[in-house]
Amino acid sequence: MSERLRNRTALVTGSTSNIGLAIAEAFAAEGAHVIVSGRNQERGTRAADRIRAAGGRADFLAADLDGSRRASQDLADRARETLGGRIDILVNNAGIYPAPGTMATDEATFDKVYAVNVKAPFFLTAAVVPGMREAGGGVIVNLGSWIARLGVPLGALYSSTKGAMETLTRAWAAEFGPAGVRVNAVSPGVILPPAPPGSEPHAGEIMMKGTPAGGVGTPDAVARAVVWLASEEAAFVHGTVVDVDGGRTGVAVIAA
């Protein structure tokens, strides 16, 4: 690795598995000191140990980002202390994806999804940005989703939260950019971990037929895009949503 993030510090939410873990591992491989965060103590400890075993710097902080300002502020405070007083990079990755139909969605489910997917990153960003301003700058990368712009059945609730995060990306870029805080987003497509040999095709693979990529992506593909946005290579990139979706949303799909 080129260590593009040498001597940088980073907080990655929802990073005990899948895309979040891939981002944390990629950051550490590029020289950053990373906070792995999530609700599951066992998975979080295992993730941090795995990063350290590979030669990276990582600590796990348990956090239940339930949408309250208190929970977000608490994580920001503990992360800042663990990282030696500053957070250079924030990745708002944590999210949940229940997918009932609109008529089957009760109020409790609606409120919980918005609390975790929108309120929690909103208040976490509010808690982290003042320190970035004092330090002279920082980077925030939000995780959107391809279904924020391409509707699918049963995706109304989740996709609306990701649409909100993509809108916040542009609004925050305007609000915080003059203080040196760059804000961008990555919009993953159908992302799956490598399938075991001989396993049945995943439904997501059908969605990717006829796309330029021709198949699903892996968490590493998203992580590489996030590393680029967090690095100085993207210093002139503000308020942008980078699609990492194999062409699913931007290219006409030819059924095969």
Domain ranges of the chain: 9-244
Residues annotated as catalytic (active site), given as ranges: 158
Identify the CATH number of the domain defined by range 9-244: 3.40.50.720
Q: What is the chain's pLDDT, residue by residue, as a tens digit (256 residues)?
A: 579 999 999 999 999 999 999 999 999 999 999 999 999 999 999 999 999 999 999 999 999 999 999 999 999 999 999 999 999 999 999 999 988 899 999 999 999 999 999 999 999 999 999 999 999 999 999 999 999 998 888 889 999 999 999 999 999 999 999 999 999 999 999 998 777 777 777 777 888 888 898 889 999 999 999 999 999 999 999 999 999 999 999 998 876 6
| 109, 157 contact by CB (below 8 A) | yes
